[in-house]
Amino acid sequence: MATDNTKLSEVVRFLRQFKLRVLLVSTLLAGPCFWHRRIEAGDLASHVYNAWLAQLIEKGQAPGLYLVSRWNNVLFDITLLHLGKVFGFPVAEKIAVYACVLIFFWGVFAFVAAVTERAPWFLAPCIAMLTYGYSFNMGFMNYYLSLGLACFSLALFWGARGREWVYGAVLLPFVLLAHPIGFVWLIGTLAYVKVRAWLPAGGSSCQQRRRRAGFSVCTGSWCDTRPNIWSIGIVDRFISTTGRIN
């Protein structure tokens, strides 16, 4: 990417160049959200119930219940509550979920584009499958939303200079409001990339093992029940890629 252009100008240029493609992909992503009367996605029903109950409490129609303030794991619920007041919860559910789908897909797309310095259109089917993967099907909507926002933030932070850091920082409160895991993953990944840039290229086998360990910690791969997914080859390719970032 050109160094004399800001991140926002690159986004505007991208949307102008690929507006029809972006519109087509976004329309196709809407399919699973609208082809059934209700979206079946694990805990999604509990989010709708909580938003409906919060609305009753605000109206004074749920005696003995009260609302408490939270600073995380509530962004999707807050969005659903306010949309429900305007459109009703059956429609609000579809709008909120579709918005999360778009944020997750285009967040991952933007992050990959920032790292590789090219639009990963050939990966769009894979990103779409990931978008409608495990987290979506389990209905972990706040966690899901936090990851999408975190990817957008990382895309803005990647190679940022000067005031461009502010663009990524603006999203941090929303990432944390959605879910702390997305926030921790964002900070950990950003810290790893910056620390890796300070290390000398190559290095001894001991240094390489430290880098792999750092990669595992920052990406949270210790949670994966299938350790062979993150093979040494994949880690090495990631390290070599990040090593070229200033």
Domain boundaries along the sequence of the chain: 7-180, 199-246
1: closest CA among 163, 118, 161? 118
CB within 8 A of 125, min separation 6: which ones? none
100: closest CA among 52, 154, 47, 136? 136
Q: How crowded is residue 51: how many other Cβ atoms within 10 Å of its Cβ?
A: 23
Low-confidence ranges of the chain (pLDDT < 50): 1-4, 217-232, 234-235, 238-239, 241-246
- How high is the pLDDT of residue 143? 93
Give the CA radius of gyration of the chain: 20
- How high is the pLDDT of residue 5? 56
Percent helix, percent strand, percent coil in the chain, to nearest 5: 75, 0, 25
User: How far is 110 from 52, CA to CA, in rounded Å?
Assistant: 34
